[in-house]
Chains A and B, each alone.
Chain A
């Protein structure tokens, strides 16, 4: 297997995991007219009012059904945007998104874009940020890890603390996988970036112990929920939860995407990004050729539901672009 095949595996693996989580369809319904999403919110109210257990799902009334088919959403689009801008100054690249009104972004990214628009610079934009701890930089770090580049400057635009450590860990893990590392080596590379005194470092070690004891990824799901998830906060995007789950399921599956990603998708709180991160790690370990073909076909083409400019983009082409000569200078000196 070549490192190029592993980079393709990381990219399309991330998109498969992204597509496997329930939030993908919600994100993709962003391509529909606003009134159709309003109707869904009203049906939610209706279910509450009439005490119905029939819960509304995204639906297409006088709207195209295509966006509701299995496919990638926010995480895959942010990976693609990162790969396409990877050689540029990060504040400058993000700065071009500040002021745009047609994007759908995370709270950490929205706050950072607001900060940039107000004249603040990184690392303040990532630090003075209510979701500094989320995993948006960790998702983007898949591109940096695949290219053998340091993700820190990119991470500090939108994150701080655990959010930046998560990006360092994911980049180290993906980089190790692209160089031929196995699941244990990938997890070890990530752990080396996560000090034990941090929440993410503590949670990662707990998650790995739990998953090893459980033996296989699906068996680990209830134990991971009990060990990591408090179910107190309104959003499930903390890097200190999603990255440890991704590492744990990668190890428990021996690096097999087909076993690890479905288990990650069974933790509903974390289903927006934990499956995507799990898919990136296991996809990089196993390579593109080993991915389930139907999933790769469904996941490799972007919908543009969050970054509309990327509609129709092929992740495979972006993964291959990452290795072209124009990018070689940046990775020179990297192991």
Chain B
């Protein structure tokens, strides 16, 4: 399977997961069962959310700067392409993005911009980490290094670890790693003594012995907190769904979406991992048909871009630096 095929599968899987999980966001698994039985079909014509659009933004940064990408480059891109639009057409920004915008407006520089606000641990970096794994296919450590440059602008601590775990795992899956190896590569990129590592390991154990949604939630969900975008939780649920689905795109993405919580993000991550492993043909055609150019609703600067074109640009950027391939 070619790198380009895997890259297309990865971003198509991400976009499909984003779109499938969208209506299940913040719902309890029981409520999902009540509404859909099992949620398997993308709502026609609705498309994805911030997960897809911010992933395209990250891919644009990589296409521009390649492996020389620094936190300073990312901060400049925010200042020029995000901050001016935040009170105009931009919608769908999470706490971490808005907190970052406020920190940048104050003139702070990374990594302080990612520490200034309270949502350093959000899954906002994990949701857009897949392009780093595509660019650094087969090199999980390099993927984790690059995504940390992006994360230093908007995240700190567990939020950066969540992004690193996803980027490194995608990099492994892009080189053909099986699900167990892929999750191991994600874990190897972050400190063992971290919340994200503890959550991913607990969730992976449950998934491997086919534990249910309730058991997974008990293990990794913070029960007395109203927001669902904690990276340690979202990344753990996404990896568990990917393991439970055996790396199959449809099974993995459906498993993630039906776990609820930050379902668009967890399903997008499960889609990126499984899509990188199975390639474009692994993504159900009925889902692929629902993925068009993004509208730029969350991030106007990416309006009109299609994930398949973005995948090709990422691979071209990679080839410029690594003509020898993996």
Contact = CB atoms under 8 A, between A and B. Distances in A.
Interface string A221-232: 000000000101
A232 B101 CA distance: 10
Contacts of A235: 118
A293 to B, nearest CB: 38
A11 B140 CA distance: 53
Nearest to B103: A230
Interface residues on A, range: 20 to 34
A202 interface: yes
A130 B198 contact: no
Interface string B228-249: 0010100000000000000000
A111 B225 contact: yes
Nearest to B196: A128
Given A107-B224, A110-B224, A111-B224, A198 B115 contact: yes
Contacts of A198: 115
B99 A232 contact: yes
A198 B114 CA distance: 10
B102 A232 contact: yes
Contacts, number: 53
Contacts of B108: 202
B116 interface: yes
Contacts of B157: 161
Contact of B225 (A130, A230, A233, A240): A130
Interface string A192-235: 00000111001100000000000000000000000000101111
Contacts of A124: 198
B78 interface: no
Nearest to B94: A232
A82 B118 CA distance: 26
Contacts of B95: 232-233
A141 to B, nearest CB: 20
Contacts of A232: 95, 98-99, 102, 117
A110 B226 CA distance: 12
Contact of A233 (B119, B222, B223): B119
Interface in B160-175: none
From B117, B118, B222, B223, residue with most partner A Cβ within 10 Å: B118
Given A107-B225, A128-B232, A202 B112 contact: yes
A183 interface: no
A20 interface: no
A107 B227 CA distance: 12
Contacts of B115: 198-199
Nearest to A134: B118
B198 A128 contact: yes
A111 B227 CA distance: 13
Contacts of A110: 224
A133 B158 CA distance: 13
A110 B223 CA distance: 9
Interface string A86-105: 00000000000000000000
B121 interface: yes
A130 B117 contact: no
Nearest to B118: A233
Interface string A287-301: 000000000000000
Interface string B102-146: 110000100010011111010000000000000000000000000
B222 A130 contact: yes
B224 A114 contact: yes
A82 B199 CA distance: 31
A238 B118 contact: yes
Contacts of A233: 95, 99, 117-119
Contacts of A240: 116
Given A107-B225, A230-B102, A232-B95, 9 more contacts: A111-B224, A114-B222, A128-B199, A130-B225, A130-B230, A199-B112, A202-B116, A233-B99, A240-B116
Q: Which 4 A-B pairs have the closest CB atoms?
A: A128-B195, A230-B102, A110-B224, A199-B115
